[in-house]
Amino acid sequence: MVGMAPDPARIPRTVVSLRLDPAVLARVTARAEALGVSRTALVERYILEGMHRDDHPLIDFRSRHGMTAACVAGRRLEVRHVIGQLRAHGGDRAATAADLGVGLHIVDACADYYGAHREQEDAYAAAVAARSAELMALDLAAEAAAPSA
């Protein structure tokens, strides 16, 4: 998953000179500032996402949970959900497709993407699970602190 890349400050970089349309550069700069990331990190993310789209045309990317999630293009269905269902069905692609209401080609596309990006997808799923647990703990604490009616 693209959003779970290692800290860019710790990865050795190669300097590359690009000629960009001034309007494109202004948009990238504004977006990077709005997201609180460097221009380099944002441009690198966009390049990687574009390459992933070329390799896996049925997979798209959405900003979710403060990270970038791999999703089925044109749907709100994340790759991690498809893989979770595939595991729950013991690898049965047809049962997974039927359960999710999608075609086999969608399950296959997600499985192919997951196979190519397993480490990033697993890290994303773990981060989402940790964030969900954190939010649940906050909800429980707020309920416990609220006066009883």
Distance, CA of 86 to CA of 147 (rounded, Å): 43
Distance, CA of 67 to CA of 120 (rounded, Å): 11
H/E element holding 115?
helix 104-116
Task: Confirm if 96 and 85 have CB atoms less than 8 A apart.
Answer: yes
Percent of the chain with pLDDT over 90: 60
pLDDT band at 139 (very low <50, low <70, confident <90, very high): confident
Task: Confirm if 48 and 2 have CB atoms less than 8 A apart.
Answer: yes
- Per-residue pLDDT reduced to its tens digit, 116-133: 999 999 998 899 889 889
Task: Confirm if 116 and 55 have CB atoms less than 8 A apart.
Answer: yes
Query: Residue 63: helix, strand or coil by DSSP?
Result: strand
In b/e form, how buried is each residue of 24-58, taking b as 16+ CB within 10 angstroms? eeeebeeebeeeeeeeebbbbbeebbeebeeebeb
Long-range pairs of 17-22 with CB within 8 A, sequence gap ≥ 24: none
- Domain residue ranges of the chain, discontinuous segments joined by +: 19-55, 57-138
Mean pLDDT score of the chain: 89
- Per-residue pLDDT reduced to its tens digit, 52-63: 999 999 999 988
pLDDT band at 9 (very low <50, low <70, confident <90, very high): low
pLDDT at 7: 56
Name residue, tokens 């990190």: 41
| Overall average pLDDT of the 103-124 stretch | 95
Q: Domain 57-138: which CATH class?
A: mainly alpha
